Amino acid sequence: MYNVHSVLQANMSTSEFASASPYSQGKQIPHITDFKYKEYLLSAGLHTLSNKYAVNVPEDLKVVNVALFALGRAGGIFHDCAVHDVDLICWVTGEYPTHVFASATAFIPEVAAINDHDTVAFTMKFPSGTISMTDLSRYAAYGYDQRLEVFGPKGMVASGNERPYQMTTSTVQGESQPPILHSFPSRYYDGYINELNHFCDVIQGLVDLQLSGENTLKVSTIATALEESAATGQMIEIKY
Angstrom distances, CA of residue 169 to CA of 172, 176, 213: 10, 5, 47
* Least confident range of 28-32, 63-67, 200-204: 28-32
The domains located in the chain, with CATH, are 16-161+178-237 (3.30.360.10)
Return d(Cα 126, Cα 136) in angstroms, integer: 20
Residue 163's Cβ-side half-sphere holds a number of Cα atoms within 13 Å equal to: 10
Categorize the per-residue pLDDT at 32 as very low, low, confident or very high, splitting at 50, 70 and 90. Answer: very low
pTM of the model: 0.77
Return d(Cα 189, Cα 89) in angstroms, integer: 21
Confidence (pLDDT) at 63: 45
Categorize the per-residue pLDDT at 7 as very low, low, confident or very high, splitting at 50, 70 and 90. Answer: low
Confidence (pLDDT) at 94: 92
* Least confident range of 108-112, 173-177, 226-230: 108-112
Please enumerate in sequence order all residues whose Cβ is within 8 A of that of 152, keeping only pairs 6 or more positions apart, or say none: 44, 45, 46, 47, 48
Flag whether pLDDT at 66 surpasses 60: no
Flag whether pLDDT at 22 surpasses 60: no
Quick one: CA dihedral 117, 14, 57, 72, positive or negative?
negative
Flag whether pLDDT at 47 surpasses 80: no
Model confidence pLDDT, tens digit, residues 73-128:
668 899 988 999 999 999 999 999 999 999 999 998 888 888 899 999 999 999 99
- Identify the residue with better confidence: 43 or 199: 199
* Least confident range of 1-15, 118-132, 203-217: 1-15
Q: Are 96 and 222 in contact (CB under 8 A)?
A: yes
Give the largest CA-CA distance in the chain: 65
How much is the average pLDDT of 200-214? 88
Categorize the per-residue pLDDT at 21 as very low, low, confident or very high, splitting at 50, 70 and 90. Answer: low
Average pLDDT in the chain = 79
From the number of C-beta atoms within 10 Å of its C-beta (0-12, 13-18, 19+), residue 121 rates as middle
How much is the average pLDDT of 148-171? 91
Flag whether pLDDT at 16 surpasses 90: no
What SS3 string covers 143-208?
CCEEEEEEEECCEEEEECCCCCCCCCEEECCEEECCCCCCCHHHHCHHHHHHHHHHHHHHHCCCCC
Confidence (pLDDT) at 33: 38
Flag whether pLDDT at 43 surpasses 90: no
Residue 151 β-bridge partners: 48, 156
Return d(Cα 134, Cα 223) in angstroms, integer: 13
Flag whether pLDDT at 69 surpasses 90: no
- Identify the residue with better confidence: 42 or 192: 192
